[in-house]
């Protein structure tokens, strides 16, 4: 989206009441000021490059590049995730971390309901669906034991192992990599629980504090001052 081939192309830059609003990409710019929702979703919003868009109603505006990319993605099915009360989710995280201490990827996968605690695009994360660590390990175990995938060669098995998303040089690396990826998935759950326990308004306040600590230069102070305009509706 930030590359030169997008210049002059009409892109969706926002969605209002389900209606897509389009503008022509003029180029890229300095980081756009994040909204409160952006701060909740990602703490590095002030680091993101913006896309400069010429719009029919608002003139020229700067929009976060990640938002424009998201709005213009090819539609994919959505995974609903696991919708749980915070207390139940916290218990699931504790159980999953305990399983990881024992090196048990499958038990951790069961504890976190084999998914993430929020909706996401199908195939977008190694924490759900066919690419999650427990599913990869199950397929490789079935191949080794001769219970399934009879047509696989060693190369096919290695290709399946690489669905984990991290570098796998040989099948000896699979258990280690699967454990590392599963730990990231459980950490995503833990971070979600932490945010949910804070509540929306405190989440924004906490993100503002982190941004203030990360950016103390004069150049960033003006952007930080403007954040005071954003509140949770």
The answer to whether residues 194 and 113 belong to one domain is: yes
The answer to whether residues 110 and 32 belong to one domain is: no
| pLDDT at site 230 | 44
| pLDDT at site 110 | 97
Task: Please state, for a pLDDT cut of 90, what percent of the chain lies above it.
Answer: 35
The answer to whether residues 104 and 40 belong to one domain is: no
Close Cβ partners of 21 (under 8 Å, ≥ 6 residues apart): 12, 13, 14, 15, 55, 57
Report, as ranges of residue numbers, the positions in the chain whose pLDDT lies below 70. Answer: 1-5, 30-48, 75, 199-208, 210-233
| Structural domain harbouring 36 | 4-73+201-229
Question: Measured on CA atoms in the order 87, 88, 93, 94, is the torsion positive or negative?
Answer: positive
| pLDDT at site 216 | 56
| pLDDT at site 228 | 47
CA–CA distance, 10 with 89 (Å, rounded to integer): 42
Judge contact between 157 and 171, C-beta under 8 A: yes
| pLDDT at site 63 | 81
CA–CA distance, 206 with 40 (Å, rounded to integer): 9
The answer to whether residues 46 and 99 belong to one domain is: no
Give the number of domains in the chain: 2
The answer to whether residues 96 and 132 belong to one domain is: yes
User: Residue 179: how many CA atoms within 13 Å on its side-chain side?
Assistant: 13
The answer to whether residues 206 and 193 belong to one domain is: no
């Amino acid at each position: 989206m930030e590359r030169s081939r997008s210049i002059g192309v009409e892109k969706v830059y926002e969605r209002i009441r389900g209606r897509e609003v389009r503008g022509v990409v003029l180029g890229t710019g300095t980081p756009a000021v994040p909204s409160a929702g952006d701060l909740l979703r990602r703490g590095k919003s002030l680091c993101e490059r913006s896309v400069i868009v010429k719009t029919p109603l608002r003139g020229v505006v700067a929009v976060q590049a990640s938002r424009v990319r998201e709005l213009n993605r090819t539609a994919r099915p959505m995974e609903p995730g696991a919708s749980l009360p915070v207390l139940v989710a916290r218990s699931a995280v504790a159980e999953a971390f305990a399983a990881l201490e024992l090196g048990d990827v499958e038990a951790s996968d069961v504890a976190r309901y084999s998914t993430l605690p929020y909706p996401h695009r199908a195939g977008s994360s190694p924490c759900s669906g066919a690419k999650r660590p427990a599913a990869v390990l199950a397929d490789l175990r079935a191949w080794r034991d001769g219970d399934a995938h009879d047509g696989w060669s060693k190369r096919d098995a290695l290709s399946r192992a690489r669905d984990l998303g991290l570098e796998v040089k040989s099948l000896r690396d699979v258990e280690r990599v699967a454990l590392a990826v599963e730990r990231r998935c459980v950490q995503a759950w833990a971070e979600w629980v932490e945010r949910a326990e804070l509540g929306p308004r405190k989440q924004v306040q906490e993100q503002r504090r982190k941004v203030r600590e990360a950016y103390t230069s004069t150049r960033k102070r003006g952007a930080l001052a403007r954040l005071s305009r954003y509140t949770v509706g």
